Structure 1
Amino acid sequence: MTSAIFNPRTLKIIQISVKLCSSLGSSPYDWDFKRNSITVHSTHRRKIAFTVGTVTSFLYSCFLFWRLVQNFSDPNPSVPVILWLLLWMFITGWGLIGYVNAYMKKEEVAALFKGVKLLAGNLEREYKAFKIAKLVWKFNKIDVFYLVLIYIAILYTVAVTLMFIVAPTKPQYLYSLIPGFGKNWENNYFLFTLFIGIEVYVKASTAWIIMATDTYTILPTLIPTAVWVEYFYGKTRSIPTSLLISNYQNFHILISYYNNAIIPLVAPILPIFCPFVICTLCAFGAIRCHGFLPIFEYVPFLVLANNGVVVLTLVLFPLTADFENSNKLCEKIRQQRKSDKKVDRKRIAGLQPFGVRLGVVQKVKKMAILLSYNFIANCIFTLLITFPQEKVTR
């Protein structure tokens, strides 16, 4: 029987994302072709590659911080340079957090994917009428979300690589450590190519581990949970209340395990804080620097600002959907208690709406989407007022 949620096309897209994320060895995950599932790649070669990616990202963060301190001490600093240093510091820091979470929770993430796939398969065999709506053409929500995130990760890597090639003489690049190399780079193509490789490796490996952290936990867990809970909400009259309670408790356990698959202090940083910072800084740079930047240095601001908004949207909607749908189903089950006297009242009294935990926030509600976008807009306007156009000239 072909699964409605994890159909062959969806599994193929997930497999492509796994192979892409593990192409540089920066992700500890791999694809198990026998079970069609995510697994932990625990060979010595992968462990070494993972360690190299982590150490390289850390050293690159130290370099960016050092350059940032130098630019802030300059009496007439370049605003675009400071913005790019801040952006790459946050993106590299985002990747480092992903490395830490992957190192500490990789087994939980792999087990979580297998558990979601198993639970979805069992429910589909029991409820044969279940179907997941197509979002675009033949692709369901999981397909579209995965494809968009793959596109964003590749676009980011291509954009920053092109920027490095067409605008090479910048202090935020690693070769600026060699005195005079930035101005005479055309005399030594080998070293220039080597530095391009290092820059691309650091940025690509960071993008892959970020994508792996989001796509192996948020998308395959939260979207199927929201879809199934919504399905049960629409079928409450045709499904016995005791069975509804059992299914509800299964998904409650699943979300609890999901919350355990991400380090609590890391959870709000990965999906919310980092995309928010990227979107805010890039939007400010796109507005204030359009008058004097060359096209190839200006376009990446627009690309990353757009990517930040898209990533925030793709992450926030699954995060909030589970609490909203579970809250509605929980209330519906409690209302049916009067009509079904055979149901144990203790089981119903024990039902509580479940949701995703982000740090001190135990359950993310839909209001978080509006608050996030409102906060981004306020920060952008604050930066624009604090730094008017006449102050941003270089």
Structure 2
Amino acid sequence: MFLLFLLIAIVSCILSFLSFHTRLNPISIYFIIWVFCLLLIELKVIEFNTLSEQTWILINAYSLVYTLSFLMGSSLVSKKVSQSVYSSNGNALFLKQFDEAALKKYLNRTIFFCTAISWLSIIPSVVKLVGSYGLNLVANSNQIYEDSISNLAGSNAGGLSLENFVFVAIVFAGVYVRKFGMSFSVSMALMTAMLGQLTSGSRGGLFVQVALLVGPWILIPKGKTKGKDQSNIGVRVAVVLALAFLLIITYLRKSSLIDLPYATPNLKKLGGFSSLVYNISFYFTSPIATLNEFLKSPVHTYWGASTFRPFYLLLNSLGVTTYNVDFYNIFLFYSPLPANVVSYIGELILDFGTFGGGVATFIFGAIFGVSYRKSRSNYSSLTWLVVMDICFALMVLSFFAWFLRPAYLWFSLIVGVFISALAGVLIKHKKIW
């Protein structure tokens, strides 16, 4: 069955190359990630239960739905509109309709403003944690994480929190870096993002932020320049720093996995590095292995409780509803390792059923396809860039979970669309705040 998925991946990638004339596009990236995860499972670095035929059928089916809907969505955009044009020095002219100096100023101030708001949540949390764990929060990240998931010292990043403004800042930082290169406000947003993740010891939010930062850089045409591409240098440095931070946290997150359960003998021979390799492999494979067990005895929650969780939480706080949208957290599925993260496929099935999950995947793929085509056009909209970037983050992390469940991507979408729409009005009338 893996060979069948590989065949689907190859055909899908060829179609995407022919459609978009670039090797790195939302279809090829999706299959690169999923082939990597499934290959790790097939190699049995960790001895998970064998994936069932039902699991393979759904993985293949949802992947095909995503590919076809993305191609259909992108085909709705006129090819004349979506054809990229470059300036005389080879730079891509996306966001061409804006005055560049005004746009640069607007984006810089937006990034700074959103980052500063997030401090109102992040800095008090950091001060509190320093009082409890000492100055070396990185070294204590494992304990902070265990306490946060036990509601002893956690942040509210997954709910409604001012910390979510740093995600909005990172969305616009990605656009800024692709257009203008690095700036002080972008660097400040990145440092704040990493500091924010220390308040929970979690890695998921930082993975999302890395995806939001690199989305425009990967998906927007770069052109060919003789000099150094400042956006390339800036993003590479930022991504290397963020990944190094993630690796440190991953290496430290080992106390509960000291025995490396169900690791192969060859993995254990790596000695001190076996824990790091185990953690990385577990992160990329466990959700799909857990999906396999979930499909054997699926549970269902309120309609759309995962996808629309932030809105349910808001309605609960207003007394309109009393839904426990996180009830599925009490369920553990043994693969044979216990876990409850079931990739985007499992979460969409949990929300809408098997057929409904396929429909949701189709809608997502179509929206992503439209935003991708429009974002690569000569007169790309800042709004469509925001939509494309958030879709990119959802797609990149689809192997792990459906990241609309935490509030930060819904928050980034709503606030980001508002800010980008406001940009058109303010820049047009030369009223940059």
TM-score bracket for the superposition, by shorter chain length: under 0.3
Higher relative contact order (CA 8 A, sep 6+): 2
TM-score by length of 2: 0.24
